[in-house]
């Protein structure tokens, strides 16, 4: 039976990769990447000369057929996304769903490592024994309800937000839960990593004053 390794890769800092991940990436026959050019940076850094193939959310069924063919002839595969743990708010889970639902004879093996949601929670100082991860905040439809529901949530809440909407998100948080303590994590593990702590209004002031409404963001709410 062949294996597919679901490998967590860095969310910014290329040193955040496990020894096991490096070994497995060297050993597999093919690495399925959300973006091959992005993954090549990691592979080059560690001098891994693996074969790669793109697999992303717009991949057609023909791509899945090709992957299944490779599995049937006993190839060992790895799946990586652009950042963090595949399947956590990125395309990885669609392939795994397909493999499971179609009873494809392959062992699915996780290689754990970084994930933006866990990194943000780990430095939040908020209760983490019971938290709610909401993925990306909706762009339009359901956005108001999204923030309204967080207002009454007892658990620590974490979500991802794009730089284009971070100011809007802070406005909504100020509107729906002005008293809640928030941690905004920007560019985790990267050169411009910044952690903002406080109420929505306070964070918004600092972010806009510093002109820091760019980069990648995770938001944690007490
Ligand atoms: N699979 C990834 C994981 O395990 O973290 C998440 C993929 S999702 C498509 C990308 C989002 O994760 C970004 O828009 C951002 O909200 C968050 N993210 C990823 N890397 C980050 C970083 N270095 N700092 C802050 N947020 C990050």
Taking the CB of residue 207, how many other CB atoms lie within 10 A of it? 20
Which superfamily is assigned to 116-221 in CATH? Tetrapyrrole methylase, C-terminal domain (3.30.950.10)
Share of the chain above pLDDT 70, in %: 100
Yes or no: domain 2-111 corresponds to CATH 3.40.1010.10: yes
Taking the CB of residue 95, how many other CB atoms lie within 10 A of it? 22
pLDDT of 220 higher than 80: yes
* Per-residue confidence (pLDDT) for residue 5, from 0 to 100: 98
Range 193-200 average pLDDT: 97
Range 176-188 average pLDDT: 97
Average pLDDT of every residue of the chain: 95
pLDDT of 63 higher than 90: no
Q: Which residues contact 67 (CB under 8 A, 6 or more apart)?
A: 32, 55, 77, 95
* Per-residue confidence (pLDDT) for residue 108, from 0 to 100: 97
Whole-prediction pTM: 0.95
Least confident residue range of 10-14, 56-60, 150-154, 203-207: 56-60
* Per-residue confidence (pLDDT) for residue 27, from 0 to 100: 98
pLDDT of 212 higher than 80: no
Q: Is the dihedral of CA 57, 92, 26, 118 positive or negative?
A: positive
Tens-place pLDDT, residues 118-130: 999 999 999 999 9
* Per-residue confidence (pLDDT) for residue 94, from 0 to 100: 87
Pocket test for ligand 1, best of 58, 162, 218 (most atoms within 8 A of CB): 218
Range 54-58 average pLDDT: 86
Nearest CA to ligand 1 atom 13: 216
- 188 C-alpha to ligand 1 centroid (Å): 9
Please report, for the chain, the start and end positions of each structural domain, with discontinuous segments joined by +: 2-111, 116-221
Per the CB < 8 A criterion, the answer to whether 65 and 114 are in contact is: no
pLDDT of 92 higher than 90: no
* Per-residue confidence (pLDDT) for residue 209, from 0 to 100: 82
Residues with CB under 6 A from ligand 1: 11-12, 81, 83-85, 88-90, 115-117, 160, 162, 185, 187-190, 216-218
């Amino acid at each position: 039976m062949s294996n597919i390794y679901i490998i967590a890769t860095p969310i910014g800092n290329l040193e955040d990769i496990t020894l096991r991940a490096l070994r497995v990436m060297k050993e597999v026959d093919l690495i399925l990447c959300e973006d091959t050019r992005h993954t090549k940076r990691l592979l080059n850094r560690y001098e891994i000369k693996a074969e790669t193939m793109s697999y992303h959310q717009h991949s057609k069924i023909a791509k899945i057929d090709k992957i299944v063919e490779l599995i049937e002839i006993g190839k060992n595969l790895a799946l990586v996304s652009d950042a963090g743990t595949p399947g956590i708010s990125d395309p990885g889970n669609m392939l795994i769903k397909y493999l499971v639902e179609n009873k494809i004879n392959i062992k699915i093996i996780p290689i754990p490592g970084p994930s933006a949601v866990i990194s943000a929670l780990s430095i939040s100082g908020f209760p983490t024994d019971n938290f709610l991860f909401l993925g990306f905040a909706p762009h339009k439809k359901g956005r108001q309800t999204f923030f309204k529901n967080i207002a009454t949530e007892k658990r620590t809440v974490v979500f991802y937000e794009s730089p284009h909407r971070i100011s809007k998100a802070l406005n909504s948080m100020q509107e729906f839960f002005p008293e809640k303590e928030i941690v905004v994590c920007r560019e985790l593990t990267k050169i411009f990593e910044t952690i903002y702590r406080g109420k929505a209004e306070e964070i918004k002031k600092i972010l806009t004053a510093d002109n820091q409404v760019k980069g990648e963001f995770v938001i944690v709410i007490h």
